[in-house]
């Protein structure tokens, strides 16, 4: 049972680290920052459940559910943020490629 608990602790720490990296790479994208915040909170709560719960089986179950849920949360919000960023980039590129309209008082 000891190896299972240490494995759960390592996974929770990795999730907190992944959330921190996602936050750092978000560069102001609110959607990705929401995902990163959820991953960090989920990883910390998972660690707390492993430390606080007296029954090791209940701690492992809750930690697994929290870790998996937080990982899915991070993945979903990071994908949504990436898709939104791609769309914004495409619209900026299309706007830059269009010629500027002539003013109404061009003297013609």
Integer Cα distance of 79 and 90 in angstroms: 17
pTM assigned to the model: 0.78
Report which of residues 57 and 102 the model is more confident about.
57
Residues in the chain: 108
Mean pLDDT, residues 79-106: 84
Q: Among residues of the chain, what percentage have pLDDT more than 70?
A: 95
- Over the stretch 42-59, which tens digit does the pLDDT of each residue have? 999 999 988 887 788 888
Q: Which of 30, 42, 35 is nearest to 84 (CA)?
A: 30
Tens digit of pLDDT for each residue in 4-27? 888 889 999 999 999 999 999 888
Provide the pLDDT for residue 26. 86
Helix (H) or strand (E) holding 30: helix 30-52
CA 108 to CA 100: how far, in whole Å?
Answer: 17
């Amino acid at each position: 049972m000891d190896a299972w608990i240490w494995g759960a602790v390592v996974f929770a720490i990795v999730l907190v680290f992944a959330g921190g990296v996602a936050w750092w790479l978000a560069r102001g994208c609110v959607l990705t920052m929401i995902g990163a915040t959820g991953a960090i909170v989920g990883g910390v709560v998972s660690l707390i459940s492993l430390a606080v719960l007296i029954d090791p089986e209940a701690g492992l179950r809750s930690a697994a559910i929290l870790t998996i849920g937080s990982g899915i949360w991070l993945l979903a919000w990071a994908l949504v943020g990436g898709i939104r960023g791609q769309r914004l980039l495409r619209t900026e590129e299309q706007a830059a490629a269009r010629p500027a309209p002539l003013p109404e008082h061009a003297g013609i």
